[in-house]
Amino acid sequence: MKWLQAIKDYKHYLLIERGLSRNSIDNYSYDIKKLINYLEDNTISVSPLEIDNEVIKQFIYTISKTINPRSQSRIISGLRNFFDYLIFEDYRKDNPLDLIESPKIGRKLPDTLSVSDIDHLISQIDLSYQYNSINLGERNRAIIETLYSCGLRVSELIELKISDLFFDEGFIKVTGKGNKQRFVPIGSSTEKYILIWKSIRSHINVHPDSKDILFLNYKGKKLTRAMIFTIIKKLVEKSGINKTVSPHTFRHSFATHLLENGADLRAIQMMLGHESITTTEVYMHVDRSHLSEVLNKFHPRK
C-alpha cells in the first residue's frame, strides 16, 4: 500500500534528516498507529493519505474521552508533523489538522525534591547489595548522584559512555535529543562515586555491544529506561517520601536548586540542553521569598 510506504519513508526522514532518537521516532509512530487503529475500528475506508478534516475531528473527539489534554496535544502535534511531511513529499496537497486547535493545557510545574529529600533517598541505598557477586548498590548510588548532579535525562544516563568522562577537565559529554552533544560540569563527589562503580564494573564480563557504556546490569549489558524507573521506585518506597518521583524529578530538582542558589537561566539552559530558553523558564516557579532576596541583594536601588 502507498500509505505504508509513506509511513516507512517518514520514519526514515525522522531518523536520517531530523536526527531523532529511536524513542522519539517510536512516539511519532505511536500517534500514526493510533489514528490508523481508529480508522480500522470504525470501518472508515480511507487511507491516511486521503483522510479529511472531518475524520480528524471525530478521531480527536474520540480520544479526548480517554486521554488527558496534554496527551491530546502531543498526538495532534505529532500528526500535524506527519501530514506536513506528506505534503512536502507530494503524497497529498493539504494538512487536515490545519484548522485543528490543541487543547489548552497550561504550564505544568515540575515536581521537585528538596536537598534533604535527595540526601535521604541516597542514604537509603544499600551499598552492600550484590547480585551474582556484583555490587549493584554502588552502581545505584552513582546513578542517582549522576542524575541529580548533572541534570541528565534518563535516556542520556543509560547512553553515557566511559569515553564521555572528562574528569581531568571537570566535565562529562552528554548526547541529548537529536544526537546533539553538550558538555556538563561534574562535581568531585559524583566523580568519586562513578570511579567506585568503574572499579566494580571492571570485573564484569561486559557484552560486546556495551563495551563503552558506563552503567550496566549484572549481565554486562546496557540498562534500560524501565530499570532506572524501577531502581528509583523501590528507593522512594523504602525512603517513605510521599512524592511522585521519576528519573526526570532529579533533573527538575537539579535546575530548580541551581536557580534558587543564584545561577542564571542561560547557564541552566546550556547544562540541560534546552534549545529554547522558554523551556527552561518553567523553573522560574521558585518561592517569592527567594526572588525578594535576589532583589534585595543585587538591585542597586533596593
Catalytic residues: 153, 177, 248, 251, 274, 283
Answer positive or negative: Cα dihedral of 114, 115, 118, 119: negative
Query: 132 in the Ramachandran plot: left (φ > 0), alpha (ψ -120 to 50) or beta?
Result: left
DSSP, collapsed to helix, strand or coil, labels residue 213 as strand
DSSP code per residue over 130-179: EETTEEHHHHHHHHHHHHHHHT--HHHHHT-BGGGEETTTTEEEEE-GGG
Residue 31 grid coordinates: 500517534
Residue-wise over 167-206: b if at least 16 C-beta within 10 A, else e?
A: eeeebbebbbbeeeeeebebeeebbebbebbeebbeebeb
Q: Please classify residue 118 by burial: count the beta carbons closer than 10 Å to its beta carbon, then call 0-12 exposed, 13-18 middle and 19+ buried.
A: buried
In this structure, the number of other CB atoms found within 10 A of the CB of residue 249 comes to 21
In this structure, the number of other CB atoms found within 10 A of the CB of residue 61 comes to 9
Please check whether residue 174 is in contact with residue 182, taking contact to mean a CB–CB distance below 8 angstroms: yes
Q: What share of the chain is helix, strand, coil (3-state, %, to 5)?
A: 55, 5, 35
d(CA 228, CA 156): 12
Give the chain's count of helices (H) and strands (E).
13, 5
**Amino acid (1-letter code) at residue 22:** R
The residues, any chain, with a CB within 8 Å of residue 293's CB and separated by 6 or more, are: none
